[in-house]
Amino acid sequence: MNEERILKYLSDLMNEAEKSEFERELSTNEMLRAEYEKIKNGLNELKFVPKTDETYFRNLPVNIRERISRKKKKKYYRTFVATAAFTVLILFFILPQNNKDNSELLQTNFDFTYNIDQINEEIYSNTSLDEIAEGFSLDRYLSNLSKNVSPEEVEEYLDEEYAGIPADLILENLQISDTEIERIYNELKKEKFL
């Protein structure tokens, strides 16, 4: 009984009258005071901050810079590939209208394709599973869930789609937006999977 009141007081859940009454009792009732102190001290003891390896915090800004620069590089590659692909497409449609020689056109396309492949290779070697995870279909996954499929069927679906790449690894590399995560989480809760 006392504990409930003490916790209400500490949570600021009492109205003004209850609060004044509790504070008055606290100054006169020794048992209540002892119980209050015990709870408060127990909670305060949780407020310790352990000593940590200082190198972790010292290196953090450097690690952040490295990640930011990797991210920028990846973004640059993506933009470059998209621009190159777009240019190839434009050349393909424009050049014949300008009566360019067909062999010249083929050569241009070949050069661009070659460069794009090179860049693609570099992207894959830099980004591991990121690109694979981008192909993951959340809607298909969720629609499977709502059909009350068994865990084995979910596994089978993931195996078919991702040729044995563990599901948790896919999800780890999946670039899902916060809203989508919330949607999946709520969906799984609704279906009582979580």
Partner 1 sequence: MSAKEDKELVIDFLNGNEAAFNLLVRKYQNKIYWYARRMLGNHSDADEVTQEVLITLYEKLNTFKFESSLSTWIYKITNSKTLNLIRKQKVREFMSLDKIFNKSASDDIINDFENAEKLELLEKALKQIPPKQREVFVLRHFEELSYNEIAEITGKAVGTLKANYFHALKKITELINNE
- Contacts with partner 1, residue ranges (CB under 8 A): 3, 7-8, 10-13, 39, 42-43, 46-53, 56-57, 60-61, 63-64, 67-68, 71, 151, 154-155, 158, 166-168, 171-172, 176, 178, 181-182, 184-185, 188, 193-194
Query: What type of residue is 45?
Result: E
Segment (H or E) for 138: helix 138-146
Q: How far apart are CA 13 and CA 5, in angstroms?
A: 9
d(CA 54, CA 59): 9
Fill in the amino acid letter for 177. Answer: S
Paired tokens of 139: 């809607």
One-letter amino acid at 168 equals D
**Sign of CA pseudo-dihedral 128, 129, 130, 135:** positive
Amino acid identity, position 113: T
CB of 183 to partner 1, least distance (A): 10
Q: Considering beta carbons, is residue 62 or 101 the nearer one to partner 1?
A: 62
When the beta carbons of 92 and 185 are compared against partner 1, the nearer one is 185
- Of 108 and 127, the one with the shorter C-beta distance to partner 1 is 127
Q: How far is the CB of 9 from partner 1 (least distance, A)?
A: 10
Minimum Å distance from CB 57 to partner 1? 6
Shortest separation between residue 80's beta carbon and partner 1, angstroms: 20
